[in-house]
Structure 1
Amino acid sequence: MKNLIALCIVFVLPFIGNSQKSFVSGNVSDSNLPLPGVNVVIKGTAKGTQTDFEGNFKIEVSKGQILVFSFIGYKDHYVTIEEPEKFLTIELVEDLKLLEEVVITGYGSRKSRDAVGYSVSDYGEGGASGSKSYGNYPYGVLTAGEINDIKDYSEWLSVLKQKKFKKIQQDWGFYLEHKIEVMVKDNDGEPINNVKVVLFAEKEAGIKAEMVSRTDVTGKSVLFRDLNCSTIEEYYYVQVFHNDKILGRKVKTSTKELAFTFSKQTESKNVDIMFTIDATGSMGDEMNYLKAELQNIISRVDQNIGEKRVALTFYRDVSDEYTVREFDFNSDIKKVQAFLDKQYATGGGDYEEAVEVALKESLLNNWDEEARAKLMFLLLDAPPHWNEQNVMTIRNEIRKAQEMGIKIIPIVASGADKTVEFLMRFFSVSTNGTYVFLTDDSGIGNPHLKPTKSNYKVEKLNNLIVRLINEYAMI
């Protein structure tokens, strides 16, 4: 009987704990108007959200917890939760002295100018058009590094041999240890862009297409014999399609490089750039800075690229206010920026988010099939939920990106773990892209994950992204 009682207690206690949690909602304003973008954080935790453009918020809390309301230029406001279902009306009080002396560095965390080493006005130099900040958030502040595992393939292979990374590899079914580089040029030795390349495997049941991709502006396509399977075959076939002509070769497992030559054809100069962004509450510490960075990047791309389109996809989780919110490709940068201005971070709750839905919806946008470069910058700090269905969805969407010639360039923010890092590196390697990660050098946000990499260069995030766009579009 004692064992039965103990067992009942074990099962009942979690439900008692859960019953004490509920949602608190409310509105935040100053003496006159609602305040959007106010950080609402549970004291002593990293859990929080932000007010929307009407000043409204909603957050899951427990009785006795303390909510901290913080916003640049205002005094912090504290509320102890006594009645979790109560609607809170919060009025923040301006602190003019504080407004002049601080810059925001994360949820409820501030540093003086002297401590950070810069002021808001120190940034924005470099000739880019547009404003130098988003509200009180300057661009040119976030710092980042890049890892191109295709270029550093030998180190990539050595890292994958580590047991802890092997499990991540097996969980998500990306192997990427046996590549073939296919180069397509014209009769003058110039690279040909956007050429369809197919890798076939010779199996007992017959010939099967293992991977379909397209060449980039360098004329190169990197194929993988072991994209989603750890075993490889003795023989493969590579076929290249261009100008209603097909060239192909049978290759052995040992083959590392192939070259094909076609007559040149007029190529498109258009560039499609998609920003797919995690907009859950955990991204709140960097969201407004990212807005400033993206506005600056978009304005600089507008100057450097004559024919280009930009699209935005924001995503949260399946139980949030929305799962995906999109702005399809548009060449009117002012309209893109107007949509960007209206977005804010909230929701989420658990660690994982709807990354697989974001991928699927992003690829359904109106991509230009003939574009010179098709780039998807995926900004996030959490992985998708792991289950068999999501694994298959992600693998299928990566294959679709490969077929469309879309390079996925993840940008990993604070709070990410090694699963996020390596899954995103799988994304970038699979699509011939590169991996980007934010660093602690900016002093903004929560601690950032240090990547598994022997060495890397730290750059300003906005400069790094503009550099990558130029590199992949050959501007």
Structure 2
Amino acid sequence: MIPRPSRLFQRSLAALLCAEFLLSACSATEIAPGIAHWPAPAPAPQPEAPIFPSAQWPAEVVARTAPNFQAPSATHCARPVQTWETPGRTAGQRDGATVMGGHGAGPFPLTRDERARRMSPGGASVGAVAAMTAPASPPAHAAKEALTDEAAVPRFIPPAPAPQPSQRPSPVQEIVTAGMVDDNADFADYLQFRQRTRVAHRDRDVSERYLLQVRNRRGDPVPDAEVAVQAATGATMWARTDTAGRVWLHPRAFDRSDSAIYEVAVRKSGQQGTAFLRRGQKSAVELVLNDLAAPQRARLDLVFLIDATGSMGDEIGKLKASLRSIANEVARLPSSPDTCFGLVAYRDHGDEFLVRGHDFTNDLGAFQSVLDALQADGGGDYPEAMSEALHEAVHRLSWRGTGATRMVVLLADAPPHLDYGGPQYDDDMMAALGKGIKVFSVGASGLDRQGEYIQRQIAQYTGGRFVFLTYREASHPGSGPGRETTHDVTNYSVQTLDRLIVRLVSEELAKLPRGG
């Protein structure tokens, strides 16, 4: 005798079928079935517009029903370098003064070994320090030794003046080695890393994920297709498929209602389709669009997002020295991409600038000039203005529209401030996915466990990779290039950093359909 289903099960099944029927009924509409808001195209950038709202952004995760970004829409980057800057100091603030939210140490630049010495054996950074005084002439070694003691209060050391053009050191030629992990390929290991790493961060739950694969009727992947995933509550996430026509969907990152079913709408070049994601399903969500126009030449928008505080001199110098070889190797790839370069540098409050951005250009010589002009200086307390810089990289640069491959190389040795108002990195990593921007986070020397967690969080969610510098002796960055690292990673290979960047670009472009 077959047992009769319980009333609770019958009611649950009826509710699920009802929800699916309602969503199916929505799919009869012609435009974006069931999705209330697709992102509008981005307008032309307005440099004079305010960059950050004066109001504090919400600290809690908000379930969005409308995009917090605008779709990429630039058509080219054949323009001179256009630069904007957000000052790090308030009007009238004297040089060297700090605005650190009540917990900052003075803006003295730290060397890579000094920053490494700030870290405890467990990988956590030294805690916040109290307010400080400025002695008339502190001993040269005083600040270094103070950093090794949590109870010690670092004394103020005025930052060294920026070198004049005639005094600027020549580009660093020494080798910088790096390893890489793919947290989406080794997702179980990544979840274990998250579980054993207890640090302050902006929480987005990615423990449950589903793969969306979009193809055309010939079976070719459809890259850069717009995706909207909507719960019955209206909570929505947005994404764009990568060069392989894929995107990872994380329902818990945007919907806390535990909806049983989601509508997945996809569109590109006037073609669109709808599928359904059911919680707990094992198979990928697959969707087929009608044949689209033949793929054109590959287009690559490549941004360097750089921490430009005092401890980053070696890494910035290496990037300056290797930019042309990176660009030349990318140009020789089989896809022969049409490449645009952008640069966003950041420091912190109290420094000369908070964020300095250089919009996309295809003039490599002009881009090399703005990169050569960037100097490592300032800083102070350990966290920096990464969130503000990521916000500008995602929202303010003139990303090209449909068909571009969009990549950010984030090079940093400290986590973002979590105690500032304004943009928050988790909002902007989600907006990056909505705009089809992959972030490849590069952890430089001195990056603590919190910084590693957040950099991996951004890279995993956007579909990028976590890259980390390696040394002959893991705990001594001054020991020279090698294979060792203090980061919580295993099973990685090592290359020079410039070769690794070219490899990441090559792998992304190699997935494009033939002809693109």
TM-score with structure 1 setting the length: 0.68
Moved more, 306-315 or 244-253: 244-253
Q: 1 CA distance for matches of 2:352 and 2:382? A: 17
> In the TM superposition, what is the alpha-carbon distance from 1:192 to its structure 2 partner?
1.0
| Per-residue Cα deviation, 1:194-252 (whole angstroms, up to 9, x for no partner) | 111121123xxx3321x211111111111111225676332222121134333222332
Match of 2:187 among 128, 137, 153: 153
| 3-state secondary structure, aligned to 2:505 | helix
- The answer on 1:298 being equivalent to 2:304 is no
For 1:119, the equivalent position in structure 2 comes to none
- The answer on 1:389 being equivalent to 2:462 is no
For 2:387, the equivalent position in structure 1 comes to 356
Q: 2 CA distance for matches of 1:233 and 1:40? A: 49
> In the TM superposition, what is the alpha-carbon distance from 1:290 to its structure 2 partner?
3.0
8 Å Cα contact 2:311/2:377 also seen in 1: yes
Q: 2 CA distance for matches of 1:227 and 1:214? A: 16
Match of 2:305 among 265, 276, 294: 276
For 2:128, the equivalent position in structure 1 comes to none
For 1:346, the equivalent position in structure 2 comes to 377
For 1:293, the aligned partner's letter is S
- The answer on 1:375 being equivalent to 2:402 is no
For 1:97, the equivalent position in structure 2 comes to none
Q: How does 1:373-452 map to 2 (within 5 A)?
A: 373-387=405-419, 389=421, 393-441=424-472, 445=477, 450-452=486-488
For 1:255, the equivalent position in structure 2 comes to 281
- The answer on 1:65 being equivalent to 2:118 is no
Q: 1 CA distance for matches of 2:182 and 2:442? A: 13
> In the TM superposition, what is the alpha-carbon distance from 1:67 to its structure 2 partner?
4.2
Q: How does 1:58-97 map to 2 (within 5 A)?
A: 62-67=135-140
Q: 2 CA distance for matches of 1:338 and 1:258? A: 46
Q: 2 CA distance for matches of 1:62 and 1:229? A: 53
For 1:226, the equivalent position in structure 2 comes to 252
For 2:66, the equivalent position in structure 1 comes to none
For 1:65, the aligned partner's letter is P
8 Å Cα contact 2:301/2:407 also seen in 1: yes
For 1:264, the equivalent position in structure 2 comes to 292
Q: How does 1:313-332 map to 2 (within 5 A)?
A: 313-332=344-363
For 1:216, the equivalent position in structure 2 comes to 242
Match of 1:308 among 315, 318, 339: 339
- The answer on 1:241 being equivalent to 2:267 is yes
For 2:464, the aligned partner's letter is G
8 Å Cα contact 1:410/1:424 also seen in 2: yes
8 Å Cα contact 2:214/2:222 also seen in 1: yes
| 3-state secondary structure, aligned to 1:376 | strand
8 Å Cα contact 1:23/1:85 also seen in 2: no
Q: Give 5+ residue unaligned stretches, structure 1.
A: 1-21, 26-38, 48-59, 69-82, 91-133
- The answer on 1:461 being equivalent to 2:493 is no
> In the TM superposition, what is the alpha-carbon distance from 1:258 to its structure 2 partner?
1.1
Summarize the Cα distance change of 1:157–1:326 in structure 2 as closer, same or farther, 3 Å threshold.
same
8 Å Cα contact 1:186/1:192 also seen in 2: yes
| 3-state secondary structure, aligned to 1:389 | coil
| 3-state secondary structure, aligned to 2:380 | coil
Summarize the Cα distance change of 1:431–1:24 in structure 2 as closer, same or farther, 3 Å threshold.
closer
8 Å Cα contact 1:415/1:446 also seen in 2: no
| 3-state secondary structure, aligned to 2:433 | helix
Q: 2 CA distance for matches of 1:338 and 1:61? A: 37
Q: 2 CA distance for matches of 1:87 and 1:417? A: 25
For 1:186, the equivalent position in structure 2 comes to 216
8 Å Cα contact 2:240/2:436 also seen in 1: yes
Summarize the Cα distance change of 1:264–1:314 in structure 2 as closer, same or farther, 3 Å threshold.
same
8 Å Cα contact 1:378/1:410 also seen in 2: yes
8 Å Cα contact 2:240/2:247 also seen in 1: yes
| 3-state secondary structure, aligned to 2:259 | coil
For 1:12, the equivalent position in structure 2 comes to none
Q: 2 CA distance for matches of 1:365 and 1:184? A: 27
Q: 2 CA distance for matches of 1:174 and 1:445? A: 32
Flag the structure with higher helix content.
Answer: 1
Moved more, 372-381 or 445-454: 445-454
| 3-state secondary structure, aligned to 1:439 | strand
| Per-residue Cα deviation, 1:416-442 (whole angstroms, up to 9, x for no partner) | 111111111110111111111111149
| 3-state secondary structure, aligned to 1:467 | helix
Q: Which fold has the larger relative contact order, with Cα–Cα distance below 8 Å and residues 6 or more apart in sequence?
A: 2
Summarize the Cα distance change of 1:234–1:279 in structure 2 as closer, same or farther, 3 Å threshold.
same
Q: Give 5+ residue unaligned stretches, structure 2.
A: 1-93, 98-107, 117-132, 142-155, 164-168
For 1:286, the equivalent position in structure 2 comes to 315
For 1:135, the equivalent position in structure 2 comes to 170
TM-score with structure 2 setting the length: 0.63
8 Å Cα contact 1:369/1:404 also seen in 2: no
Q: 2 CA distance for matches of 1:183 and 1:328? A: 32
Q: 2 CA distance for matches of 1:24 and 1:153? A: 44
8 Å Cα contact 1:410/1:435 also seen in 2: yes
